[in-house]
Amino acid sequence: MSIPFTKMHGCGNDYIYINCFEHPIDHPEQLSRVISDRHFGIGGDGIVLICPSDVADAKMRMFNIDGSEGKMCGNAIRCVAKYVYDHNIATKETLEIDTLSGIKIIELHVENGKMVSATVDMGSPILDPSTIPVLVEDQEVLINYSLLIEDTSYSITTVSMGNPHCVIFSDDIESINLPITGPKFEHHPMFPESVNTEFIQIENRNTLHMRVWERGSGETLACGTGACAAVVAAVLNGHCDKDTDIVVKLRGGDLIIRYTDDSVYMTGPATKVFDGIIESIS
């Protein structure tokens, strides 16, 4: 069976998108492992299924390179909104997308009949360790918490934006050997569902630089939920201010994050790369 797909990215966080309104997928875990490979497949950080929903304009399911299903992806959901709008699945400029982390509201920014960027209401951050989840005793929140990994002590702040994040501030994020350091956090027993890890360098109160190690995918060029978690952590640690636009500079581009008393808002681009057809899966 041939499967049409669209390759899209948000700040370089690229996925293979499949319209499941027209082409339902039976084994997305296996499909993601095969076609996400950058040498033997299409190449991407995973696959995203755009599915019908009884409660929203569409439903998003996303699978990492290793086949694991993620609950939420901030860059992918903007691309889902673009696909839904540009393909007339829903023609409103405010969309509701159903995810495993709940329904997200997306305000579209449209030019010449196509969506070019969007603002996503990402919801309120979760700081309760048991909900993130983080295995730690007698802690209401983990802000600037000391975690010893092998012989190195890290000051971490943990946040969930529908998926778990561990945020670390550093004076020089470029010197970090992420393929070595990232897995130490991802697979640490403190994080029973593994964790996404953000390394943040502060430029000023309105600008952060970020590198990210995503669970199930490795280092990616961008992570929308991670950028949101980074700004929340920066506010909690006194580096940034609430209700202010913060530019998060990622390797794939910039996201603008605003953390308010009500929610976290993320604004960023969504870009179509190309369409194609998967002829067979081996």
In the chain, how long is the greatest CA-to-CA distance? 55
Tokens read off for 109 = 């920014």
Task: List CB contacts of 123: < 8 A, sequence separation 6 or more.
Answer: 101, 102, 104, 161, 162, 263, 264
As to burial, measured by CB atoms within 10 angstroms (0-12 exposed, 13-18 middle, 19+ buried), residue 265 is: buried
Is 166 a catalytic site residue? no
| Residue of 20, 73, 166, 240 marked catalytic | 73
Tokens read off for 222 = 């961008």
Is 73 a catalytic site residue? yes
Tokens read off for 141 = 């929140």
Task: List CB contacts of 42: < 8 A, sequence separation 6 or more.
Answer: 5, 7, 16, 35, 36, 276, 278
C-alpha 40/C-alpha 35 separation (Å) is 7
Q: What is the 3-state secondary structure (H, E, C) of 118-184?
A: EEEECCCCECCCCCCCCCCCCCCCCCCEEEEECCEEEEEEEEECCCEEEEEECCCHHHCCHHHHHHH
Alpha-carbon distances of 108 from 11, 84, 85, 92, rounded to whole Å? 16, 11, 9, 9
C-alpha 168/C-alpha 165 separation (Å) is 10
Which of the residues are catalytic?
73, 223
